[in-house]
Amino acid sequence: MELTILHVNDHHSHLDAESTTLTLSNAAGAATRVGLPLGGFARVSAAMAQLSAASPNVLKLHAGDAMTGDLYFTQSEGKADAVMMNTVCFDAFAIGNHEFDNRDAGLVKFIDFLHADSAVCSTPVLSANVHAAAGSALASRVEPYTVLERGGQKIGVIGLTVAGKTRNASRPDASTVFEDEVQSTQNAIDTLQKSGVNKIVLLSHQGYSVDVAMASQLSGVDVIVGGDSHTLLGPDSLQAVGLSPSGAYPTEALDSKGKRVCVVQAWQYSYAVGELKVSFDRDGVVSNCAGRPHILVGDVFTEGAVAASAADAAAYRAQLDASESFSVVAPSPVAVAALEPYKLAKDALGLQIAGSSVDDLCLRRVPGTKRDTSRSRLGDACNLDPHVIAHGGDIQQLVAEAFLQQGQRFGGADIALQNAGGVRVDIAAGDVTVGKVYELLPFKNLLVRMTLSGDEVVATLEDAVDSVINGTGTGAYPYTAGLRFNVDMNQPKGSRISAIEWRDASGTWGAFDTARNYSLITNNFTAEGGDSYNTLKAVDSARREDTYLDYADSFLQYVKENSPLRRPDTGAFSTQSYIEMP
């Protein structure tokens, strides 16, 4: 038989369409940067329906992390995600680590939303290695696997959740057990095989490279449909349009007995649907696997702020239609209608009051009197404020504190770092709305945890200050939580940062140890070397972890929990002393 697997992963409450820019050739053949719509769950729903109708023996799978990352989750606690997932009606859903962000009770609530109309759709929720306490609400809602029938044959689908990351960087109940991924999966495979199931799909939420490596440790798995690492797989031709696939779609591996295993993943954020076709012989052994990602786009094209001409638009559409990876898909009207009340509620949420501030929280990128001296929308009350001149922006400092608090809650952190330019507006004294938080931090940034030596932390600060003097401008200036220091802009690079102190878990300031390692939480822009943070860019993958925590939502939670906000004490500011260049 040939089995078609349609799959998504890590949509993280990103239900609206976004926009992207690709390099395409216009009607005259010139390479052009072209803007166009990207993704949106209504496109996922439409693509799933179209692709399902085109093939027999279809499975529709979701490899986890449905929740957390957009105001839709803040507003509905997963209900909007469940409603949209049910416009597809997935055949199985694997629990991701972020499904535990609101403890077991939050996952239970989401599953109940997903099963609210079980007569229409009741997607099995799977994880072979998650074991909630006996008698708990979660225990009765999760199964290790499900058996589906297609073409008169049985297919086993096993769920798997990354253990250590979920236990340490999310918030499951202490009584919930996360067992070893390999052993739990093999136990489930053995059970299925003993019952006569010889076609087995592992629906895994632990990352692409881990999935590929794990295949060789298992016996009897045929397909691994993955999530967690937000990996785009596809042909090298994607590089020409400005995307960077991490491997082939599908990637082939071998199990412990030398049998073929097909490994796939479908990027992130409702951007793509994977389509994998797997051929089995009469013994249930994979004889061939092939497929493609469907990166979901619209056909409204812009060049800068201007709509493309009809001739250029036709040229762009022809390239997308001919590509191996893009699919121009209109959003499903049914899904658009299902999302509409949640979209209205999300828009209204922007007007809701999240908290308040006692003080004007001034925006200022760099201390001193020579750079960035008129940044504030609040005027001279901030621009001429002696404290702002001496120590820098109040709001940038609070953002760094919020990131440290969020990092400590989800997996631990010693220090937080925020580049000055990533924070966009002041917050005036008075009410703070949700919309203001997202205006403050408007980019699609996520928090990244990195393990750095003390020397690397110092080098990172030096990179930032050097960038202000010689590089990208004032936006690189560093604001840190849990770390304070003096800055002398007159010194050469390597000597501009001095008198560094670190605040330990008890809140005590003490000497900073360049010989020990520190866990630093920052946004993915700086983690990837933006604003010339070159030391961070050079940190190898083994020492960095994508938390996939939305940075604006992290500050929103801080506002809710710490209102009324106020200017931090001077001793908590990262820049304790600032000497300007003459």
CATH number at residue 245: 3.60.21.10
Mind listing the pLDDT tens digit of every residue in the chain (582 residues)? Answer: 999 999 999 999 999 999 999 999 999 999 999 999 999 999 999 999 999 999 999 999 999 999 987 889 888 999 999 999 999 999 999 999 989 988 999 999 999 999 999 999 999 999 999 999 999 999 999 999 999 999 999 999 999 999 988 887 788 999 999 999 999 999 999 999 999 999 999 999 999 999 999 999 999 999 999 999 889 999 999 999 988 899 999 999 999 999 999 999 999 999 999 999 999 999 999 999 999 999 999 999 999 989 999 999 999 999 999 999 999 999 999 999 999 999 999 999 889 999 999 999 999 999 998 888 878 878 788 989 999 999 999 999 999 999 999 999 988 999 999 999 889 889 999 999 998 998 899 777 899 999 999 999 999 999 999 999 987 678 899 999 999 999 999 999 999 999 999 999 999 999 999 999 999 999 999 999 988 999 999 999 999 998 988 899 999 999 999 999 999 999 999 999 999 987
Enclosing H/E stretch for 2:
strand 2-8
Q: What is the pLDDT of residue 372?
A: 80
Q: What is the pLDDT of residue 180?
A: 97
State whether 335 and 361 are in the same domain.
Answer: no
Structural contact between residues 417 and 339, judged by C-beta atoms closer than 8 angstroms: no
State whether 225 and 85 are in the same domain.
Answer: yes
Q: What is the pLDDT of residue 442?
A: 77
State whether 253 and 388 are in the same domain.
Answer: no
The residue behind tokens 């696939």 is 245
State whether 251 and 300 are in the same domain.
Answer: yes
Structural contact between residues 465 and 459, judged by C-beta atoms closer than 8 angstroms: no
Q: CA 347 to CA 258: how far, in whole Å?
A: 53
State whether 243 and 302 are in the same domain.
Answer: yes
CB atoms under 10 Å from CB of 383, counted, come to 18
Coil, strand or helix at 393: coil
State whether 255 and 385 are in the same domain.
Answer: no
Q: What is the pLDDT of residue 196?
A: 96
CATH number at residue 372: 3.90.780.10
State whether 101 and 170 are in the same domain.
Answer: yes
State whether 374 and 344 are in the same domain.
Answer: no
State whether 254 and 129 are in the same domain.
Answer: yes
Q: What is the pLDDT of residue 313?
A: 97
Boundary residue ending a domain (348, 375, 397): 348
Residues of the domain holding 16: 2-348
State whether 270 and 123 are in the same domain.
Answer: yes
Boundary residue ending a domain (281, 313, 348): 348
State whether 367 and 280 are in the same domain.
Answer: no
Nearest to 375 by CA among 389, 390, 356, 355: 389
State whether 323 and 472 are in the same domain.
Answer: no
Structural contact between residues 59 and 262, judged by C-beta atoms closer than 8 angstroms: no
Written in H, E and C, the secondary structure of 210-224 is HHHHHHCCCCCCCEE
Boundary residue ending a domain (297, 323, 348): 348
Q: CA 136 to CA 237: how far, in whole Å?
A: 49
Q: CA 475 to CA 420: how far, in whole Å?
A: 5
| Number of domains within the chain | 2
Q: What is the pLDDT of residue 472?
A: 67
